[in-house]
């Protein structure tokens, strides 16, 4: 009987420990979601303005750090943070860091990646931008394989569904595009081929699914064969778009170069459309084949077309 009571007490303590962790996690996610919503409501900050789903970095000094897809690779992300001394630079207000989305799925530490990024956003909201990727996409367009809910189930048991619902609210509050005043455009997938103006791009979330803008921003890929136009993507969502659409989009947003994620690259990055698109992939390990993870550290005072020289890699 004593052993049975001890086992029951142990199980109750373990359950209490898990529930406490789940409450802490829910509070963290709710706090980050509230910040994202507040930024949209009040227009952001002095040098980082927010207009619906569009964030603009108005500053022309300091550094811009850009990190592509992480997909649960906490180790590589922390190596980048350490190598570039990101926490110190954020504290000193010398750096803006933009994440291009796809924090979750495929890697076993998606939750830890997500919480690390959210803590950074909460601590430095005016310096950290967490863009939406297709793996954080809208409720009617879930990427596959979507392993994040199963990871939550393994780590939190019966509390997982409510935790996941709070993450869904967070994903729906994320912005989907960032512009710098010098003309660097940052998004996850590709250009929206049917958008006619900046207003439509900023309102892509509200216009979804009647307009394809959000789907294309999260899912599109640049064509590598030299076609003009666009065609359906083999991913099952979005399009493959030609350089002519890149040119049209850059005119609409007054941009010079696009930094995007979404695709693995053998060296961690690749350049498309005559240097107007740069793909960054910032994770290592299976199921991808890249030998390096890439990211960008670019002085905001330098021309955007020099951003290709600001690519750094880690192995």
The structural domains of the chain, ordered by start, are: 22-28+43-314 (3.60.21.10)
Each residue's pLDDT tens digit, 225-240: 999 999 999 999 999 9
pLDDT mean over 242-256: 98
Residue 239 in contact with residue 216, Cβ under 8 Å? yes
| DSSP code at position 135 | G
Average pLDDT over the chain, rounded to an integer: 93
Element (H, E) at 25: helix 2-42
Element (H, E) at 51: strand 48-51
Residues 6+ positions from 307 with CB-CB distance below 8 Å: 184, 257, 259, 278, 296, 298
What per-residue string of b and e applies to 205-236 under the rule 16 or more CB within 10 Å gives b? bebbeebbbbbbbbbbbbbeeeeeebeebebe
Choosing from 71, 135, 188, 273, the catalytic residue is 135
Each residue's pLDDT tens digit, 257-279: 999 999 999 999 999 999 999 99
Element (H, E) at 213: helix 213-219
Q: Would you tell me how many other CB atoms lie within 10 Å of the CB of residue 12?
A: 10
Residue 109 in contact with residue 269, Cβ under 8 Å? no
Alpha-carbon distance of 198 to 218, in angstroms, equals 17
pLDDT mean over 176-185: 98
Catalytic annotation on 166? no
Give the residue from 216, 31, 38 showing the smallest Cα distance to 137: 216
Each residue's pLDDT tens digit, 96-127: 999 999 999 999 899 999 999 999 999 999 99
Each residue's pLDDT tens digit, 185-215: 999 999 999 999 999 999 999 999 999 999 9
Using pLDDT thresholds of 50, 70 and 90, give the confidence band for residue 12: low
Q: What is the pLDDT of residue 286?
A: 87
Give the residue from 70, 232, 237, 62 showing the smallest Cα distance to 137: 237
- Please check the confidence at residue 5 and state whether its pLDDT lies above 50: no
């Amino acid at each position: 009987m004593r052993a049975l009571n001890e086992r029951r007490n142990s199980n109750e303590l373990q359950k209490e420990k898990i529930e406490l962790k789940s409450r802490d996690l829910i509070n963290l996610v709710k706090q980050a979601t509230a910040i994202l919503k507040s930024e949209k409501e009040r227009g952001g900050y002095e040098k980082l303005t927010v207009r619906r789903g569009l964030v603009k970095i108005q500053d022309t000094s300091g550094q811009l750090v850009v990190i592509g897809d992480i997909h649960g690779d906490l180790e590589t992300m922390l190596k980048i943070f350490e190598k570039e001394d990101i926490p110190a630079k954020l504290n000193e207000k010398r750096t803006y860091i933009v994440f291009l989305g796809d924090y979750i799925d495929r890697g076993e530490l998606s939750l830890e990646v997500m919480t690390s990024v959210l803590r950074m956003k909460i601590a430095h909201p005016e310096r950290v931008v967490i863009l939406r990727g297709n793996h954080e996409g809208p409720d009617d367009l879930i990427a596959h394989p979507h392993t994040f809910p199963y990871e939550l189930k393994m780590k939190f048991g019966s509390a997982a569904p409510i935790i996941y619902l709070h993450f869904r609210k967070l994903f729906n509050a994320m912005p989907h595009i960032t512009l710098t005043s010098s003309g660097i455009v940052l998004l996850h997938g590709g250009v929206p081929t049917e958008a006619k103006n900046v207003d439509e791009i900023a309102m892509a979330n509200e216009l979804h699914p009647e307009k394809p803008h959000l789907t294309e921003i999260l899912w599109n890929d640049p064509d590598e064969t030299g076609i003009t136009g666009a065609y359906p993507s083999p991913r099952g969502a979005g399009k493959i778009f030609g350089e002519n659409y890149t040119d049209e989009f850059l005119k609409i947003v007054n941009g010079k170069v696009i930094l995007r994620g979404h695709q693995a690259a053998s060296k961690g990055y690749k350049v498309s459309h005559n240097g107007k698109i740069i793909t960054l992939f910032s994770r290592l390990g299976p199921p991808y084949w890249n030998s390096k993870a890439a990211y960008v550290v670019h002085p905001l005072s330098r021309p955007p077309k020099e951003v290709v020289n600001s690519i750094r890699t880690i192995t």
